[in-house]
């Protein structure tokens, strides 16, 4: 399960070499990871013209970050709500072509790359259409809304030799990169269990206080196209905003939040496939308004070959995002402060408990002999914990910048979360939902590329 070759990317090697001065006992401050975004400028031939599809809550931020990169110019934006045409121009800072029809961006030969930040039920079609139109594409997570979509997206990327990156920055966070390096180096032995969790406890965190923009109506929104392949229903402004809670458009807390936890651990543990089994449970306890369908508490146990992954996700109590990797030679914990490794050598340092049930003379003789036999060979003290901290809190590799660099160099190998990776993470999310809704174990049928439930 654990991939032992960490030399895949130059910058990972640089990151490990930079694990430098130990300023406090057993605390190691890491240098910032090198990042493609640090380039001050790019050659004219390396300039990329981008088209933005979906300029909503996430798309607005991605657009801002994208054009902050040297050599990236947004020349057109597409959204189904006209208000977001205004927003796109505000962000870009000049008039650009704005349309409700993304095919116009794909038909524009001057556009090199597409960024797709539409709701989940639109990801697949836009990625496939973009690849077929010869565009490289950065598409938001979760990669898919349905299992079958992922394989069509991979095929379209391969057939057209397109660069595809999926937008979960967790893949390139410093913690997932450093954890991967430590695990692959054997720092905690064989990892057999991973536990990850996160929690929120506000209506905002559960998307429930998100309100439709004033004046939103079918006059300024193409509602029928927004529905896509979902059942046709009359205009519903709540669904337009809070689509994450409904099965026809979103993937619930699994595809929205759990996917980041899974993406990080898939990278750190070197996982290359979907889980073969998932069992999930939970419920919709608090945020029941407007017919929301997905649970607000969702816990999952996944089985991968030789590895169990336990996910705790709740919108009913705020908790720090955390990850624990349980290895045969130690515990690796990722928390607010950084990464802590608590090594375990698996040795007995004293005679233990069982002889407490011997009569005194027998017990004392046993313990004396125990020490005589073993003390000389035991290390003087137990291994101590080591803490890794990043001086620039939270800083990782530049996920978007890696996409731009991959496009410029035509080198998809520098991308961590490519379409295959993104698909594996998304399948795990779909398995969590399949298990929850079927109230049964979800099994991945790799041959049929389908999830089976009872
Ligand atoms: N990577 C992250 O950390 C992160 C964070 C938040 C959201 N996301 C993802 O980003 C995506 C968008 O989320 P959001 O919160 O911005 O949603 P949103 O509803 O705020 O915005 C989506 C926009 O896409 C537009 N749209 C829908 N279908 C379209 C189509 N066919 N053509 C053109 N425009 C279309 C909508 O009109 C809307 O303006 C989701 O997949 C979400 O999971 C990722």
Which residues, including other chains, have CB under 8 Å from residue 46's CB and lie 6 or more apart? 71, 408
Q: How far apart are CA 13 and CA 22, in angstroms?
A: 19
Per-residue pLDDT tens digits for 169-205:
999 999 999 999 999 999 999 999 999 999 999 999 9
Q: Is residue 365 part of a domain?
A: no
Nearest residue (CA) to ligand 1, atom 9: 140
pLDDT of residue 40: 66
Q: Is residue 318 part of a domain?
A: no
Cis peptide before 142 (omega within 30 of 0): yes
Per-residue pLDDT tens digits for 3-20:
333 333 333 333 334 333
Lowest mean pLDDT among 23-27, 315-319, 447-451: 23-27
pLDDT greater than 70 at residue 25: no
Q: How far apart are CA 346 and CA 382, in angstroms?
A: 10
Q: Is residue 43 part of a domain?
A: yes
The ligand 1 atom at the shortest distance from the C-alpha of residue 58 is 16
Which mutation among 119, 124, 208, 212 tests ligand 1's pocket best, with the greatest number of atoms within 8 A of CB? Answer: 119
Strands 191-199 and 307-314: parallel
pTM of the model: 0.92
220, 399 in Cβ contact below 8 A?
Answer: no
Strands 72-78 and 48-53: parallel
Task: Determine which helix (DSSP H) or strand (DSSP E) holds 175, and give its type and residue range.
Answer: helix 174-184
How far, in Å, is the centroid of ligand 1 from the Cα of 60? Answer: 9
Say how many domains are in the chain. 1
**DSSP state string for 109-123:** TT--EEEE---HHHH
Q: Look up the CATH number of the domain holding residue 409.
A: 3.40.50.720
Q: Is residue 146 part of a domain?
A: yes
pLDDT greater than 80 at residue 35: no
Q: Is residue 208 part of a domain?
A: no
Per-residue pLDDT tens digits for 299-328:
999 999 999 999 999 999 999 999 999 999
Q: Is residue 435 part of a domain?
A: no
Per-residue pLDDT tens digits for 138-176:
999 999 999 999 999 999 999 999 999 999 999 999 999
pLDDT greater than 80 at residue 21: no
How far, in Å, is the centroid of ligand 1 from the Cα of 243? Answer: 10
pLDDT of residue 364: 98
For residue 106, the enclosing domain spans 34-171+397-419
Q: How far apart are CA 327 and CA 312, in angstroms?
A: 20
The ligand 1 atom at the shortest distance from the C-alpha of residue 244 is 43
CB atoms within 10 A of CB 267: 23
Which mutation among 55, 56, 64 tests ligand 1's pocket best, with the greatest number of atoms within 8 A of CB? Answer: 56
CB atoms within 10 A of CB 193: 12
How far, in Å, is the centroid of ligand 1 from the Cα of 57? Answer: 7
Question: SS3 string of 231-289?
Answer: CCCCCCHHHHHCHHHCCCCCCHHHHHHHHHHHHHHHHHHCCCCCCCEEEEEEECCCCCH
**DSSP state string for 19-68:** -----BTTEEEPPPPP-GGG-S---GGG-EEEEEE--SHHHHHHHHHHHT
The ligand 1 atom at the shortest distance from the C-alpha of residue 120 is 41
Q: How far apart are CA 206 and CA 316, in angstroms?
A: 9
Name which of 174, 126, 213 is nearest 398 in CA terms: 174
Q: What is the mean pLDDT of residues 76-81?
A: 98
Strands 277-283 and 27-29: unpaired
Which residues, including other chains, have CB under 8 Å from residue 18's CB and lie 6 or more apart? 30, 31
102, 53 in Cβ contact below 8 A?
Answer: yes
Nearest residue (CA) to ligand 1, atom 8: 58
Q: What is the mean pLDDT of residues 422-436?
A: 98
- Ligand 1: lining residues by beta carbon, under 6 Å: 53-59, 78-81, 84, 102, 117-120, 122, 140-141, 167-168, 225-226, 256
Instruction: Look at phi and psi of residue 409 and say left if phi exceeds 0, alpha if psi is from -120 to 50, else beta.
Output: alpha
Token match 């069982």: residue?
A: 354
pLDDT of residue 381: 83
Q: What is the mean pLDDT of residues 257-270?
A: 98
Q: Is residue 67 part of a domain?
A: yes
Nearest residue (CA) to ligand 1, atom 4: 58
Q: Is residue 29 part of a domain?
A: no
């Amino acid at each position: 399960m654990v991939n032992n070759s960490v030399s895949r990317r130059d910058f990972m090697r640089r990151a490990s070499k930079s694990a430098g001065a130990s300023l406090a006992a057993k605390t190691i401050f890491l240098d910032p990871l090198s990042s493609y975004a640090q380039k001050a400028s790019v050659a004219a031939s390396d300039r990329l013209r981008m088209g933005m599809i979906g300029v909503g809550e996430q798309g607005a931020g991605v657009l801002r970050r994208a054009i902050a990169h040297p050599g990236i110019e947004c020349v057109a934006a597409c959204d189904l709500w006209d208000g977001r045409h205004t927003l796109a121009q505000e962000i870009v800072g000049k008039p650009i072509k704005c349309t409700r029809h993304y095919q116009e961006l794909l038909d524009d030969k001057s556009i090199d790359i597409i960024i797709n930040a539409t709701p989940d039920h639109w990801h697949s079609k836009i990625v496939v259409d973009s690849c077929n139109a010869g565009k490289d594409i950065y598409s938001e997570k979760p990669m898919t809304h349905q299992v079958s979509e992922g394989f069509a997206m991979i095929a379209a990327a391969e057939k057209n030799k397109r660069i595809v990156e999926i937008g979960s920055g967790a893949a390139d966070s410093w913690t997932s990169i450093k954890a991967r390096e430590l695990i692959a180096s054997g720092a905690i032995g064989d990892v057999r269990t991973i536990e990850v969790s996160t929690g929120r406890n506000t209506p905002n965190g559960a998307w429930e206080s998100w309100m439709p923009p004033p004046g939103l109506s079918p006059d300024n929104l193409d509602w029928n196209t927004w529905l896509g392949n979902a059942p046709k229903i009359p205009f519903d402004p709540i669904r337009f905003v809070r689509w994450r809670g409904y099965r026809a458009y979103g993937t619930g807390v699994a595809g929205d939040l759990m996917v980041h936890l899974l993406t990080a651990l898939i990278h750190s543990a070197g996982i290359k496939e979907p889980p073969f089994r998932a069992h999930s449970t939970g419920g919709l306890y608090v945020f029941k308004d407007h017919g929301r369908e997905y649970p607000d508490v969702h816990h999952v146990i996944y089985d991968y070959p030789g590895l169990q992954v336990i996910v705790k996700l709740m919108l009913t109590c705020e908790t720090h995002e955390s990850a624990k990797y349980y290895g045969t030679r130690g515990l690796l914990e990722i928390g607010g402060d950084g990464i802590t490794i608590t090594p375990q050598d698996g040795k007995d340092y004293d005679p233990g408990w069982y002889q407490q049930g011997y009569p005194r003379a027998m017990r004392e003789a046993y313990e004396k002999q125990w020490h005589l036999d073993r003390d000389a060979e035991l290390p003087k003290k137990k291994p101590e914990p080591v803490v890794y901290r990043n001086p620039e809190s939270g800083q990782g590799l530049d996920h978007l910048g890696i996409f731009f660099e991959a496009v410029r160099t035509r080198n998809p190998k520098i991308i961590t979360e490519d379409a295959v990776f993104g698909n594996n993470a998304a399948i795990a999310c779909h398995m969590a939902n399949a298990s929850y809704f079927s109230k049964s174990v979800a099994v991945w049928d790799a041959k049929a590329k389908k999830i089976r439930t009872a």
